[in-house]
């Protein structure tokens, strides 16, 4: 198992450009999420998905779109990049909504995005 | 509303010292989960522990131990005989029991262990 993979590892954009951060997992996990990490603020949830075809907003969704056409993939789209979106982005997956299980979130290696 | 507070922004210790990282949480849920993650300088997030609100037993894993006290809404993490490899940022996080895909993170504590 590769676990949770993210591409690219680094990206520099100019203000107004669009791009897609890729996330894939091969653990057949139902749940996938995107977080951003900013200095002094910990990680904050952007969007999440509880299964293919289902997505919902997290704490900081503005400026980002997601879709979940397959169980494996959960791309994050920046429609018009802004300097405020400079951050490290982490994708995570979770086996599913089962409080009795030992499920936990597995995180990808992160994508460091700079918007000039 | 849910909230996680890690009041210690940065801690510095010398190798072999014991160190405790504090975590205080707020939630209205009666059932919830608490987590600790480690983020070494390489940047990845490493899962350390998951504890549900029904289990207040302290847990020990090698040099790591966790003290969960519902009465004070705390879930503190102690590293015994710290090592340079323990240098990292440590995050405490909270989730609702039926929503473990949504983690609320604290702001993290940077631990530096000097030789």
Q: Take residue B43 and report the two structure tokens written for it.
A: 């940047």
Q: What is the pLDDT of residues B25-67, one digit of tens each?
A: 999 988 888 999 999 999 999 989 888 888 888 888 899 999 9
- Look at A50 and B91; give whichever has higher pLDDT: B91
Helical H segments across chain A, by residue range? none
Residue B30 is predicted with a pLDDT of 87
In chain B, what is the straight-line distance between the N-terminal and C-terminal CA atoms, in Å? 41
Which residues in chain B are closer than 8 Å to A3, comparing Cβ atoms? none
pLDDT band at A74 (very low <50, low <70, confident <90, very high): very high
**Record: contact B47-A106, CB cut-off 8 A:** yes
Task: Please give the full DSSP string across B21-73, using - where no structure is assigned.
Answer: E--EEE-S-SSEEEEEEEE-TT---EEEEEEETT----EEETTEEEEEEGGGT
Q: What is the pLDDT of residues A22-71, one digit of tens each?
A: 999 998 888 899 999 998 888 999 999 988 999 999 999 999 999 999 99
Which residues in chain A are closer than 8 Å to B44, comparing Cβ atoms? 107, 109-110
Please give, rounded to a whole number of angstroms, the shortest distance from the CA of B82 to a CA of chain A: 23
Supply the DSSP symbol for A17. Answer: -
């Amino acid at each position: 198992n590769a676990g949770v993979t993210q591409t690219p590892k680094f990206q520099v954009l100019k203000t107004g450009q669009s791009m897609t951060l890729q996330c894939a997992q091969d653990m057949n996990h139902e749940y996938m999420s995107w977080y951003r990490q900013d200095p002094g603020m910990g990680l904050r949830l952007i969007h999440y998905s509880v299964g293919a075809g289902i997505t919902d907003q997290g704490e900081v969704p503005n400026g980002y779109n997601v879709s979940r056409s397959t169980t494996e993939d959960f791309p994050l789209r920046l429609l018009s990049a802004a300097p405020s979106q400079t951050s490290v982005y982490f994708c995570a997956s979770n086996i599913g909504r089962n409080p009795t299980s030992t499920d936990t979130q597995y995180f990808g290696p992160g994508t460091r995005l700079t918007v000039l | 509303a849910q909230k996680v507070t890690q009041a210690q922004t940065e801690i510095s210790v010398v190798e072999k010292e014991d160190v405790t990282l504090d975590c205080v949480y707020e939630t209205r849920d009666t059932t919830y989960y608490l987590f600790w993650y480690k983020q070494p300088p390489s940047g990845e997030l490493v899962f350390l522990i998951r504890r549900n609100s029904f289990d207040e037993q302290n847990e020990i894993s090698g040099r790591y131990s966790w003290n969960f006290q519902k009465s004070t809404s705390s879930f503190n993490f102690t590293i015994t005989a710290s090592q340079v490899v323990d240098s990292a940022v440590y995050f405490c996080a909270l989730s609702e029991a039926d929503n473990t895909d949504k983690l609320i993170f604290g702001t993290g504590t940077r631990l530096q262990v000097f030789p």
